[in-house]
Amino acid sequence: MAQYLNLDLGELGLQEPWAPRPCSWTCGEQVSELGLDSEVLPVRGDHPAAQNRFLYVDGALHPLPTGLRGLLRPSPPFTKPLFWAGLRDLMKPRGKEPDETVHSFAQRRLGPEVASLAMDSLCRGVFAGNSRELSIRSCFPSLFQAEQTHRSIILGLLLGAGRSQQPDSALIRQARAERWSQWSLRGGMEMLPQALDAHLTGRGVSVLRGQPVSGLSLQAEGRWKVYLGDSSLEADYIISALPASVLSKLLPAEAAPLAHVLSTITAVSVAVVNLQYQGAHLPVQGFGHLVPSSEDSSVLGIVYDSVAFPEQDGKPSGLRVTVMLGGSWLQTLEASGYVLSKELFQQQAQEAAARQLGLKDPPSHCLVHLHKHCIPQYTLGHWQKLESAIQFLTARKLPLTLAGASYNGVAVNDCIESGRQAAVTVLGTEPNS
């Protein structure tokens, strides 16, 4: 029987509109399997993009403290040494609630400044979300598990709370030895889905493009019928990487309780603006900076692409930065029916680059992409939604597994890992490469 794969790689997180995330081993394993080792551009541990990250607060860039010296003395925008936040964590008792917002957790364990500046910015940079709404258990499971296991974030992380067995390859061993903080591919991250497509089609898998699923129904013999507009196909099992809210509209009436749960997992939009400047220089060298919601409601952060990956600057070369716009500002615009134009996003991005980085001349090149509903929001109680969905699928013995960014992680690596686990569920063993 022919094998079919009908998916949007963007929904798997492979085209997620964010800067490269810290080096991840599952994704690294896939890179090796796809024969892309020679195309990898690493950022090693001693590189400025690995060592320096900034917050934009009170109209200025502030480096995040690093090393013992940085923890023992005040480092603006923090008014007290972060040593006191660590001591507070060591002294606080374990939390008793099964879940908590990121802001509440950080304020309780680390203090109000860390919560309102650092964690607020981090939630905006990773999830384009509000730390007062997002779940610590689902968004930062290692921090939640560290407290639950060892009563302290610091002790838990030092003792390896939640650490799982990691895959292994020559590339992964090199990444560990050189302390890679992030990586890209010479031709951009789009090389990853392109190589995956070639890998699958070369093994007889039919990849259907431009044929979105319009509905699902269960047949009498327990198989699925998948409707693709003017055509359909049957499947013994479905692994869905669709956004939860999209899948909820496709499920048949028999799965109404599951559809209701999935419909409550929402997502926010993000505008990504790539700017290139000729003859320009950054005031600092590093990975980039994040912006807390109290400073600017529209700008989530700016990544200094040319610092980490100058190989991708092109010819003629120029300084490249990526401005990420979203959060409550974009949600307000969408809710009010405001016309979201490329001109609006370009203007906002250029003004942010001029104000925050001193890049006042017009850019030589600009690319604008609005990614609608691209980052799922793991709000308070998200884990209960997942448990409810799994319980329904198990009780009804539905041949369906949920994968992708809507459930257990929005990063590329998380999405690849959830796909691998879904394949293990179906096959009962690790899939062959």
pTM of the entire predicted model: 0.89
- What per-residue confidence (pLDDT) applies to 26? 60
- Which two structure tokens, joined as six digits, stand for 417? 């890992």
Range(s) within the chain of domains with CATH label 3.50.50.60 = 215-265+379-427
Angle of helix 170-178 relative to helix 25-33, nearest 10 degrees? 140
- Which two structure tokens, joined as six digits, stand for 233? 């196909």
For domain 10-159, give the fold.
Answer: protoporphyrinogen ix oxidase, domain 3 (1.10.3110)
67 vs 200, more confident: 200
The DSSP line for 230-277 is TEEEEES-EEE-S-HHHHHHHS-GGGHHHHHHHHT--EEEEEEEEEEE
Cβ proximity of 304 and 19 under 8 Å: no
- What per-residue confidence (pLDDT) applies to 3? 39
Range(s) within the chain of domains with CATH label 1.10.3110.10 = 10-159
- Which two structure tokens, joined as six digits, stand for 367? 């690319």
What integer best gives the mean pLDDT of the chain? 88
Cβ proximity of 128 and 19 under 8 Å: no
Is 215-265+379-427 assigned to CATH 3.50.50.60?
A: yes
Q: Which residues contact 337 (CB under 8 A, 6 or more apart)?
A: none
Is 109 a residue whose pLDDT tops 60?
A: yes
Is 276 a residue whose pLDDT tops 50?
A: yes
Cβ proximity of 286 and 48 under 8 Å: yes
Residue type, position 223, single letter: R
CATH code linked to domain 267-376: 3.90.660.20
What does the pLDDT look like over 326-353, one tens digit per residue?
988 898 998 898 889 999 999 999 999 9
Residue 370 has phi, psi (to 5 degrees) of -100, 115
Runs of H (alpha helix) within 277-411: 305-308, 327-335, 342-357, 382-396, 405-408
Is 158 a residue whose pLDDT tops 80?
A: yes
Is 283 a residue whose pLDDT tops 60?
A: yes
Cβ proximity of 271 and 370 under 8 Å: yes
